[in-house]
């Protein structure tokens, strides 16, 4: 099998959310599994609603998730291709001009419904003679253009949903070009998929109804061999059951990033919700790939709870080894020989990665020690072992203090933690103490 070529095709009319990330990641992981290519295609034919700043933000969001496209294209730069395809369809008699106004169409639809007929476009425009068309154009009417469906039962073997079919006789001939000459999504998408050699169209199930029309278009323009395979995954819904929307900005990738959620936690939740594997922390997109199987995605709505994200994010941090965070620690000046043991000590105590800065201050900087029980802390100071220190030092020190003072449990440990870290809770003292070091420990004890 030749390597797959997939595309993620957002319209840059808002920020992408975790549901869009699901589509992007399904495509990306699918491409990666087959050593193929992932194309980012901006569906920006709607000049009014599309904005360059959204396109730029989507690129940033994808990069943050770990997705690097092999190629990025913009539909707004590809209009001549669509015009050429439209001309070919016209020459084949598959694209025909229509002059009905929205009102006329509406009235016709209502009449069909009262007669108990399906409200399908009646193709009246196909019956217009050349003279009648010319007369309409002379009145200043401009046509919109419809694709003449065959009609037939269009079948495809969906990567997620299995054998699928739609009877295109039940559909109106779709409008491909509006009266003002602008493109609806249908034709440009097919033309690009053909031009860019897309082998698999993986997208949300809200596009299932477009598929039959698009397959007819693929076949009209390039024959059945060139038609990609389709996979329609279920949509993510919020815990309330509500769909996600670009407009509300809720659960946008940007807002999750700003909230300090780990990108791998977002990716794991986006991909594994409703999959055969349970939602779990992953160390890399490569690991996520091993858990992902598009054929085993549930067909039911995939409901997720964004409250799960905070916990998943913390668990993700705990799973990350030093090598995978080194490049994020060094810009915070967390480097040198202490950096790795530091990371291993604190990674289980981070709600957000940014919290490392506070903990680094505890081992390397100035803190405000809290002296709860000065007499005991004096004794602790006296008993502080000589260096070198290791993971056993804290146990040796507190063991000795326990014997000397009869203290145990919280009464023994809590004053030490407060004095040495200035905090009530945190990573194991056994790991922190050698990182703090004797000089700093002495300075923090009264």
Q: How far is the CB of 435 from ligand GLU (least distance, A)?
A: 49
Q: How far is the CB of 87 from ligand GLU (least distance, A)?
A: 23
Q: How far is the CB of 50 from ligand GLU (least distance, A)?
A: 11
> Does residue 168 touch ligand GLU according to CB under 6 A?
no
Written as six digits, the tokens of 61 are: 């969001």
| Phi and psi based region of residue 162 (left: phi greater than 0; alpha: psi -120 to 50; beta: remaining) | left
Cα pseudo-dihedral 254, 256, 258, 261, rounded to 10 = -140
* Alpha helices in 34-156, H assignment, sequence order: 52-65, 79-91, 102-114, 130-138
Of the pair 98, 213, the CB lying nearest ligand GLU is at 213
Q: How far is the CB of 321 from ligand GLU (least distance, A)?
A: 36
Of the pair 193, 262, the CB lying nearest ligand GLU is at 193
Chain residues 30-69 in contact with ligand GLU, contact rule CB under 6 A: 43
Residue 425: is it exposed, middle or buried by C-beta count within 10 angstroms (0-12/13-18/19+)? exposed
Q: How far is the CB of 9 from ligand GLU (least distance, A)?
A: 4
Dist. CA 302–CA 299, nearest whole Å: 8
At residue 259, φ and ψ (nearest 5 deg) are -75, -5
> Does residue 12 touch ligand GLU according to CB under 6 A?
no
Sheet of 175-177, strand order: 95-98, 144-147, 175-177
Chain residues 381-440 in contact with ligand GLU, contact rule CB under 6 A: none
Q: How far is the CB of 129 from ligand GLU (least distance, A)?
A: 37
Q: Which of 203, 233, 347, 407 binds ligand GLU (CB under 6 A)?
A: 203
> Does residue 9 touch ligand GLU according to CB under 6 A?
yes
Chain residues 305-334 in contact with ligand GLU, contact rule CB under 6 A: none
Using only C-alpha atoms, the chain has a radius of gyration, in whole angstroms, of 31
Of the pair 9, 345, the CB lying nearest ligand GLU is at 9
**From 6-14, 79-87, 215-223, 247-255, span contacting ligand GLU (CB under 6 A):** 6-14
Chain residues 205-224 in contact with ligand GLU, contact rule CB under 6 A: 207
Residue 227 contacts residue 215 (beta carbons within 8 Å): yes
**From 3-11, 168-176, 252-260, 390-398, span contacting ligand GLU (CB under 6 A):** 3-11
Q: Which of 10, 174, 281, 427 binds ligand GLU (CB under 6 A)?
A: 10
Residue reference for tokens 């957000």: 352
Residue 252 contacts residue 15 (beta carbons within 8 Å): yes
> Does residue 11 touch ligand GLU according to CB under 6 A?
yes
DSSP string, 396-437: HHHHHHHHHH---HHHHHHHHHHHHHSSSS-S-HHHHHHHH-
**From 4-12, 127-135, 158-166, 432-440, span contacting ligand GLU (CB under 6 A):** 4-12
Three-class SS of residue 339? Answer: helix
Written as six digits, the tokens of 361 are: 């201050």
Q: Which residues bind ligand GLU (CB under 6 A)?
A: 9-11, 43, 185, 189, 203, 207
């Amino acid at each position: 099998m030749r390597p797959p070529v997939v595309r993620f095709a957002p319209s840059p009319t808002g920020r992408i959310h975790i549901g869009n990330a699901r589509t992007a990641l399904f495509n990306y992981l699918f491409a990666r599994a087959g050593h193929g290519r992932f194309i980012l295609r901006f569906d920006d034919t709607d000049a009014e609603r599309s904005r360059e700043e959204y396109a730029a933000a989507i690129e940033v969001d994808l990069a943050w998730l770990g997705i690097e496209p092999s190629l990025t294209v913009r539909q707004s730069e590809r209009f001549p291709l669509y015009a050429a395809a439209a001309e070919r369809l016209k020459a084949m008699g598959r694209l025909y001009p229509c002059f009905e106004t929205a009102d006329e169409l509406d009235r016709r639809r209502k009449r069909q419904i009262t007669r108990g007929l399906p409200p399908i476009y009646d193709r009246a425009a196909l019956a217009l003679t050349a003279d009648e068309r010319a007369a309409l154009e002379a009145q200043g009417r401009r046509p919109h253009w419809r694709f003449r469906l065959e009609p037939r039962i269009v079948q495809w073997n969906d990567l997620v949903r299995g054998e699928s079919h739609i009877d295109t006789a039940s559909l109106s001939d779709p409008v491909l070009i509006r009266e003002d000459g602008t493109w609806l999504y249908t034709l440009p998408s097919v033309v690009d998929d053909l031009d860019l050699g897309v082998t698999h169209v993986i997208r949300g199930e809200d596009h299932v109804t477009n598929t039959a029309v698009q397959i007819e278009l693929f076949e009209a323009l390039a024959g059945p061999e060139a038609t990609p395979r389709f996979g329609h995954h279920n949509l993510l819904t919020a815990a309330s059951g509500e769909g996600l929307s670009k407009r509300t900005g809720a659960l946008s990738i940007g807002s999750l990033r700003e909230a300090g959620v780990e990108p791998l936690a977002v990716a794991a939740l986006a991909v594994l919700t409703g999959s055969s594997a349970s939602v779990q922390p992953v160390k890399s997109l490569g690991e996520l790939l091993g858990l992902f199987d598009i054929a085993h995605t549930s067909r039911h709505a995939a409901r997720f709870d964004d409250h799960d994200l905070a916990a998943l994010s913390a668990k993700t941090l705990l799973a990350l080894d030093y090598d995978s965070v080194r490049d994020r620690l060094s810009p915070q000046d967390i480097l040198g020989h202490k950096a790795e043991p530091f990371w291993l000590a604190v990674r289980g105590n981070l709600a957000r990665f940014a919290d490392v800065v506070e903990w680094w201050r505890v081992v390397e900087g100035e803190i405000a020690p809290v002296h709860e029980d000065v007499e005991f802390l004096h004794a602790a100071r006296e008993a502080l072992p000589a260096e070198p220190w290791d993971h056993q030092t804290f146990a040796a020190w507190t063991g000795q203090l326990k014997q000397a003072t009869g203290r145990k449990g919280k009464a023994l440990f809590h004053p030490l933690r407060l004095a040495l870290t200035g905090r009530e809770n945190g990573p194991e003292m056994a790991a922190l103490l050698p990182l703090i070091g004797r000089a700093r420990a002495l300075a923090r004890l009264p």
